[in-house]
Structure 1
């Protein structure tokens, strides 16, 4: 009877121990993987910011670049392929390479106990290959070719996968040998497999446990106090396991309820794929074309985020606006607002190619315009910037875009951040309004109270700044400021205004010049002498009328278009 009771409680303890190991491995394993990845990152040199997404404060480690996880958030694959002229021959478009890393491989890689694929080829990695890799029992593919490790392992590429989806025996033996002694004959750059020969006894020896020479004999007698201790300990262990079970799985349930599906790297593309000039776009292709959002590819900053140039091919260049995650209440709001933009199309609005939205990354993809933005155009003031025909065309193009947003979109779209840096140009000085898709959408009402003031200081209408009440007339005010900057040498809040009273801006300055009979001094140097002076005065009066305090006096953008068309010069 004693033996039966002992056997029952031993089985219970064994079950409890195994179950607790599983629980703790599920709760702590993913955290250990994240720590191992961060330690691995610290051992690399990363001049091009390939691992910029490896940030525990902004995302889960399973969404980091090059990392793939299973359903328990355990790392099963780490693929970071370096890229140079030689290595490009090894990888196709379906298996791309990224900018090179450098440094050494941290021994922490040996802590990724669930990893099956470890691929770090064609980087500038040096030093010794960590011996802890041999402890990765589930490793199937190890690709370290094209690096500069010391010793005989400078180019290694082994695989435990056979073509018939069964483990390849020779490769399995090679991996077993690699785990045991790390002595592997390196593969050539063409991945020619030359396996080191060794006796099968080595593998059998590794698999055979050493004999236990001290096995005591005889029977152990159990006393009642020992049985009571075993029972008490088993009850305590059982209660603790129940508590651990509810604690761990309650946390896991809560996490799964917050993140119902694994974050994907999908890209929504609006361009018709049947177009012969279009090319398939994916998340990886776009991000890689921006050089992983590096500063060298940054072409502008705005209130919603930064914009990067993404050259996929010489004939396919895009502008990617990376949004500041957290500006929206959630990706559902983001998807809802973006879906409304599919029907917002006008010749003077930038073309929305597609977008990506997840909890850790949001960006919009637009057509790239080679002429830069109007802010730089005004600063440079090259000869075309002095020609009345060019300046008139820009003013008319922007007015047409705003009239379309205000009059023809349902619901109407208010921009709320009109400024020169949000007006883009092509090589023929056609103007395009950008960032309109990030404005708040209005219904049928003429005004709307917002929760905060959007826009840039100096371009915001006074009634909007004071009351947070926005209407299309706020866009008209901002347009008037842009026109004044376009025709003059002054900025909205020019440094030369510092000698005047507080609140003195380009509007106050233009009114002052008119009242003093110096209207011609408003215009940029040479424009008054070369341009039609009557038309210049009309445009000046239009800009000032757009910026009056009374909303009822400000014209609509439709009226502004009508006036500009009436004084339109001959075509370029």
Structure 2
């Protein structure tokens, strides 16, 4: 079965990357996968490098531009649990758009591939603290002469750290800096000896040249150092914009360093979910301060100003059934959102693992109503209205009292036509996307209503949106088709999960089933609004109000 799914995934990739631009992006992904095989990864640092989970722009340490081309690869060995081993594969030379390549303080060995020196757009190269067999890297106890070819090929290189080695001082780099051609000439003496005055002249000239060279070195070092500091500030501004007051004296301050450290530097062990917009990590700053950090893919929005404007607009979107956005960080190489953490997990896990107490009708009704209220608020009470475009059980979170909270709201608008890992044309997840949206790419609030209806059908039944049991039917057969078939055959009770029909009330269950089917009809005019769905759910179980 896994081989069949992988073959299907590769086939979808061939269609998805049919254009020349997307084909180059696919080549980047293939290069990263081959690079992964050349590393030894005993601690699972690269566990997210899996094309069946997400595309390469979501992978740990990888950043892309708007064309999904890799522009940055940063894999720093912070401690023994984050160090990579092995060698660097020559395939790294296929990443032709890369500007930042940083693999410091790992346990990398072998020889640095010559292909690195051919990356013409490379601006920052940091390979210090490894064990390479070359004479051009810092902190490797290396000696000899830096190859002249580096200067010829890396035309855009701004920062190459060569400190901590035993290089012989050469003049080729000074000739490069002064734009002089490298030439070797033979001096044929016209006589067998030199007069004292000639020796004195040569010594004096040598001293003058030496002093000039020292001055040039100091000038270049000062200029490079200030430029490197500016470069680092551009690459990694360590600031967090907070929307919630964090001034409690007993609360640890929310800083870039504290958040990233609390996620274990985005370690796989702290990952609590993957989605179309990125991966989410648990961040424990203290027993009473736990957050969920959603790490987004860099390069999926059109400029910093747009991003800050859109994410700041989400600060005003507040509702009891929406996950609270606490703050965010955004830079050229890192971007994440900080939410309050909900210990009850997500609705997808709840459906898979539900136990007898969770089969209580009041619990299921409460979850359905909470989600409906959140969507009604986004559609009717926000100006402009917010379309979610990715309603599914994994985006609905629960607390310990089964209160439901909608997450990832506003991200579709924020990231434009961002693609989920299981879709190629529209935002959303296959199986939950409204048919008119999938066919025309035109989205309205009624597309969210359709997805909500699918979620309700999953909540009350034992079926998934695209359940494996549907494979014996014709193409396009899904949970909606199945529910209609059960009703037409007089088998409505078989729609409901085991024990739910028996515990009742059966009239209320049938009415919720009809509401879910009405939300998923093809005609947009017949689909209810989410405000109408809220009213109907309140009418179904008035004893709770």
TM bucket (normalised to shorter chain) is: 0.5 to 0.7
**Whole-Å separation in 2 of the counterparts to 1:465 and 1:216:** 88
Q: Which residue of 2 aligns with 1:434?
A: 407
- Which consecutive residues of structure 2, in runs of 5 or more, have no partner in the other structure? 1-37, 47-59, 82-104, 113-127, 131-138, 144-165, 167-192, 200-222, 416-423
Please tell me whether the aligned partners of residues 389 and 569 of structure 1 are also in contact (alpha carbons under 8 angstroms).
no
- Residues 309 and 368, structure 1, Cα contact 8 Å, conserved in 2: yes
Give distance in 2, aligned partners of 1:456 and 1:427: 27
Kept after mapping to 1: 8 A contact 2:235/2:333: no
Structure-2 separation of matches of 1:104 and 1:462: 50
Q: Output the CA distance in 1 between the equivalents of 2:398 and 2:447.
A: 23
Secondary structure of the 2:413 match is coil
In structure 2, the partner of 1:529 is: 502
Secondary structure of the residue that 2:429 maps to in structure 1? coil
Aligned-partner SS, 2:259? helix
Are 2:373 and 1:400 aligned?
A: yes
What displacement does 1:104 show? 9.5
Q: Does 1:419 align with 2:397?
A: no
Change (3 A) 1:103 1:325: closer
Task: Give the aligned partner of residue 253 of structure 2.
Answer: 280
* Cα 1:556–1:277 shift into 2, 3 Å: farther
Q: 1:488 and 1:388 mapped to 2: Cα distance?
A: 12
Q: Which position in structure 2 is the counterpart of 1:210?
A: none
| Partner SS, residue 410 of structure 2 | helix
Change (3 A) 1:412 1:523: same
The match for 2:50 is none
1:287 offset after TM fit, Å? 1.1
Deviation at 1:325, TM superposition (A): 1.8
Picking from 391, 407, 410, the partner of 2:364 is 391
The aligned counterpart of 1:290 is 263
Q: Does 1:218 align with 2:196?
A: yes
**Match in the other structure for 1:509:** 482
Residues 389 and 570 of structure 1 are in contact (CA less than 8 Å); yes or no, is this contact kept in structure 2? no
1:277–1:488 Cα change, 3 Å: farther
Distance 1:409 1:315, change over 3 A: same
The within-5 A match list for 1:91-130 is: none
Cα distance, 1:285–1:65 mapped onto 2, change above 3 Å:
farther
Distance in 1 (CA, whole Å) between partners of 2:111 and 2:427 is 49
1:442-474 Cα distance to aligned partner (Å, 9 max, x none): 9xxxxxxxx951101110111111111110000
CA contact (8 A) 2:240 2:255 kept: yes
Aligned match of 1:235: none
1:498 to 2:478 alignment = no
Deviation string, structure 1 residues 25-57 (Cα, Å, up to 9, x no partner) = xxxxxxxxxxxxxxxxx999884749x749999
Q: In 2, are the aligned partners of 1:49 and 1:292 still within 8 Å (CA)?
A: no
| Aligned with 2:293 (options 316, 320, 326) | 320
In the other structure, the counterpart of 2:458 is 485
Contact 2:271 2:280 in 1 (8 A): yes
Q: Distance in 2 between matches of 1:47 and 1:458?
A: 35
- Partner residue of 1:549? 522
Alignment of 1:154-553 (within 5 A): 216-220=194-198, 261=234, 263-276=236-249, 278-440=251-413, 452-553=425-526
Alignment: residue pair count: 371
Distance 1:299 1:263 in 2: 25
Distance 1:325 1:530 in 2: 49
CA distance in 2, matches of 1:559, 1:513: 25
1:46-71: CA deviation from partner (whole Å, max 9, x where unpaired): 84749x7499995669x8769xxxxx
Give TM-score scaled by structure 1 length: 0.57
Aligned to 2:88: none
- Does the C-alpha gap of structure 1 residues 332 and 106 become closer, same or farther in structure 2, counting only changes over 3 Å? farther
Please list, as runs of the form range in 1=range in 2, the aligned pairs for 1:24-35 lying within 5 A after superposition: none
1:37-52 equivalent positions in 2, closer than 5 A: 47=43, 49=45
Could you tell me whether the CA contact under 8 Å between 1:107 and 1:131 is conserved in 2? Answer: no
Aligned residues of 1:107 and 1:130 also touching (Cα < 8 A): no
Work out the CA distance in 2 between the residues paired with 1:534 and 1:440.
39
Question: CA 1:548/1:279 → structure 2, altered by over 3 Å: closer, same or farther?
Answer: same
- Contact kept, 8 Å, 1:352 with 1:364, in 2: the verdict is yes
Q: Which runs of 5+ in 1 are unaligned?
A: 1-41, 67-79, 84-100, 109-117, 121-128, 134-178, 180-214, 222-248, 443-450
**Partner Cα separation in structure 1 for residue 402 and residue 467 of structure 2:** 25
Cα contact 1:394–1:431 (8 A) shared by 2: yes
Structure 1 residues 53 and 511, CA gap change in structure 2 (3 angstroms): closer
Which residue matches 1:115?
A: none
* Offset at residue 102 of structure 1 (A): 7.6
Structure 2: distance between partners of 1:47 and 1:426: 31
SS of the counterpart of 1:470?
coil
Aligned partners of 2:433, 2:39: CA distance in 1, in Å? 48
Residue 243 of structure 1 is matched in structure 2 by: none
Provide the alpha-carbon RMSD of the alignment. 4.2
Larger Rg: 1
The verdict on how the C-alpha distance between 1:417 and 1:484 changes in structure 2, with shifts beyond 3 A counting, is same
Mapped partners of 2:63, 2:425: distance in 1: 30
Shift, 1:277, TM fit = 5.5
Q: Distance in 1 between matches of 2:79 and 2:465?
A: 48
1:511 match: secondary structure: helix
SS at match of 1:435: coil
- In the alignment, the residues of structure 1 paired with residue 45 and residue 70 of structure 2 have an alpha-carbon distance, to the nearest angstrom, of 16
